[in-house]
Structure 1
Amino acid sequence: MPGSIRAVVVGTGMIGAVHVAAVRAAGGELAGVVASTPERGAQVAKAWHVPARHPDFESVLADDGVDVVHVCTPNALHVRQVEAALAAGKHVICEKPLATSAAEAERLTRRAEEAGLMLAVPFVYRYHPLVREIRERRLRGEFGAWQLIHGSYLQDWMLSENAMSWRVDPAVGGPSRAFADIGSHWCDLVEWVAGVRFTEVSARLGTTVATRPAGTDTSFSTAVGGPRVEVRTEDVATVLLRTGDGVLGTLTVSQVSAGRKNRLWFELDGSAASAVFDQENPETVWLGAPDGARVLFRDPNHGSPEQRRLSRLPAGHAQGYADCFSSFVADAYAAVRGATPDGLPTGADGVRSAHIVEAALSSAASLAWTDVTTTRVGPEVTA
């Protein structure tokens, strides 16, 4: 595809702004943004210095000059919008979850494959350079056979009883909130880095705030007074996992842990060595061995080729989430041009995530170990 890739971002909340910045950082051309109303879209386009040429989603579909549609809307809209964009011949980057059911995620992914279009899902924590370093060391056999996998993903943005978000409503956000929203990131990252597949889960979900303020179309908001509604999605989750090789894992998920802003943390314990990664401190990883431990710093002059490739700044100049997103979008655009970037999360990974979420929901309902359904969609990506 000659020239710059022309992209439109659909959805103007927090994550839409992240996509806009990443499109620019990746060298794409922002051809417009679409909000919930034409008036809101024009306002945001002016604030973000984006052309206000697309008043609604339909105008994006009709524009042959648009190459990629970034879907950043509430979860319940993803299927309809992704399906329409693919039918219009657009490549798609869709915020996770790709769909709120595995069956719909499978359908979208198959349609993208049949049309020869790129469909990517922003599991962007794969793009921390030191995550790539751990994965490369695993591929070299440095850790030996896995003995235990454990970790957590903790936030506090729903701690207040007056906190509210569209994600709380299962009709808009889907039947799972905390696990589908952030536990899915942990599962994707750990499976990809460790080269495992979780085949069984035993999950328990908990709602710690019984009622919250009614109605909001924003991701993060609070309200005092007014009507309240029963909360029907989880604030916390604890999950036992088992891989196809019988390795046990544990995961704790919370959106109500005071002081924890976005702490995705995992430890992989092998027969020869261990590794720890903390997303809130991504410039270092902890590597353990029987005779001691050491801290490895991100350094574009050392380590694996992928760590070097994704190190956008010199050692000692901190990189973070925004850099991951920019690298992800750059790889997605490279895929649009026909490349096959290592580790690009695609529709198949969105399908995988949906199956894990459904297994966790089923297990929480039955109070029993539940198999994670395996569906053959797209290439195998865990190696």
Structure 2
Amino acid sequence: MSTQPDPLSAGAARPHAGPDLLYSEEEEALRAAVRDLLTDHCAAPDVLARTESDTPHDVPLWQTLAAGMGLAGLLVPEELGGQGATHREAAVVLEELGRAVAPVPYLTSAVVATEALLACGADDLVTALATAAATGVLAVALHTAPGAPHAVVRHENGTLHGELTAVADAAVADVLLVPADDGGLYAVDAAAAVIVPQVPLDLTRPLARVRLDGAAGRRLGDAEPAVRRALRAGAGLLASEQLGLAEWTSAQTVAHLKERKQFNRPVGGFQALKHRLAQLWLETVHLRAAARNAADALARDEDADVAVAVAQAYAAAVAVHAAEEAVQLHGGIGMTWEHPVHLYLKRAKSDALAYGTAGAHREALAALVDLPAPPPAPAVRTAV
């Protein structure tokens, strides 16, 4: 395995006036280290085996990423025990996790929950997540878009009561960040909640129902701004995961078509397939630009709302298209359970709903740039 870079150096400031979509040397070194680790510890057969077990999360891999490499604290300032890096470095990590469909709670804990805690100024919990002493999960349904309404629990006599559904990675959480009807965001010990697994489409990112029946909670701050900030970061960096997924499936498809032969010639040489692969490559290049722009905008905190909406309005369709093409162009083997491509298709389909659909982000983008929807077309009357 190659020498792992210091994420602190990866987060060194890069002064620039506008968006920078290129990867720095430090970011490429970070990518290489994460990819080496995933190659050694997150092989496709192992991921498939986990989806058939009662422990779909790879906790040892998560501990290695979070504590061993310090990646859980990329978004956390150094004075709070983190690496003082930015969303750009977190995006690189998510690209590699997307390439491996790694069953770890990086997006939900190191990004979404961490952003919520930073918004509330809960320094002790931020440090716990950054140092991998705990794993946190924001108890909001995975499909919730930034700024969209979401379910809350009832706060009564200092305790919390209610049920929240479709909470991603709740099964491995130590701390749940729970929004309540009094407008507060509460930290709840996961052991005080009843967590019931739900059957997800994506078996590598399990969902659960969280039920609270008189659980004690510590109020951290106002829920609305914290949840909005957390979901915005989650949506923006999800595009990088979708990019990694699209790149892996495209590369695997090209490699397969170079080897598979019909009529004594490689299938990849057929003109119709060349056109499909060229179109897929172009879409992936555009997705890379959108995802990098979103990560850079979040890092600079400039025009982040627009950049995130643009990235998510585009990313889902590309990731799903790449995965669908991989299944189809792999032929019969692509339809089998033993081949991992179905994991990528399910992750792509699940990601298309996570943190808001493409349609929801298009509506948000239209409002952000003051672009009203076109008026409805007049009804056409036909003679009888």
Q: Which has the larger radius of gyration?
A: 2
TM-score (norm 2): 0.28
Q: Normalising by the residue count of structure 1, what TM-score does the alignment of the two structures yield?
A: 0.28
**Which structure is higher in helix share?**
2
- Which structure carries more strand by proportion? 1
